[in-house]
Amino acid sequence: MQHMDKATRDDLLDALFDLKHDLGKHIYQPLGMLPPGATAQELRAALETALFSTRKTQTEQVAARKLWVRFADEWQSQLPRFSHYEKLETAIRSALALESVLAKPGIEIERETVGATLRGVGEAIFDLIEEVKTHE
């Protein structure tokens, strides 16, 4: 594995912690906050919020895809050295693939499956953080 200087590693960790909060937490939150008996319409609305209004601030709403692209563009030269990066890419691809579910109103949203997919993003970010922490 290639060497990474401490300043770069620390900057990457800062970016990963931001990503964990902005994407890892907020992509699952709308679904996680639904009551157990949520309707199909409520599930669809929560998934739409999770993917297209993932991170809301006072000045902007940022979609999950945009959060990921911002991070990946900035760190693409450093990330491939980490084995957990591939796991993160796979988790992101799976989550973003759910956009196609929203494009087809007749498709039923399975709460457990979608929830596991969205939680997988945060879990993959956490695993990558742990790997980066131990990298020298």
Closest CA to 95 of 20, 37, 9, 23: 23
Which residue type does 83 have? S
**Could you tell me the CATH number of the domain that includes residue 110?**
1.20.58
CA 105 to chain centre: 23
Range of the domain at 102: 6-134
Tell me whether residue 1 is in a domain: no
Closest CA to 78 of 16, 126, 12, 123: 12
| pTM (2 d.p.) | 0.93
Domains held by the chain: number: 1
Closest CA to 49 of 60, 57, 61: 61
Tell me whether residue 69 is in a domain: yes
Higher confidence at residue 136 or residue 47? 47
Tell me whether residue 21 is in a domain: yes
pLDDT tens-digit profile of 23-62? 999 999 999 999 999 999 999 999 999 999 999 888 889 9
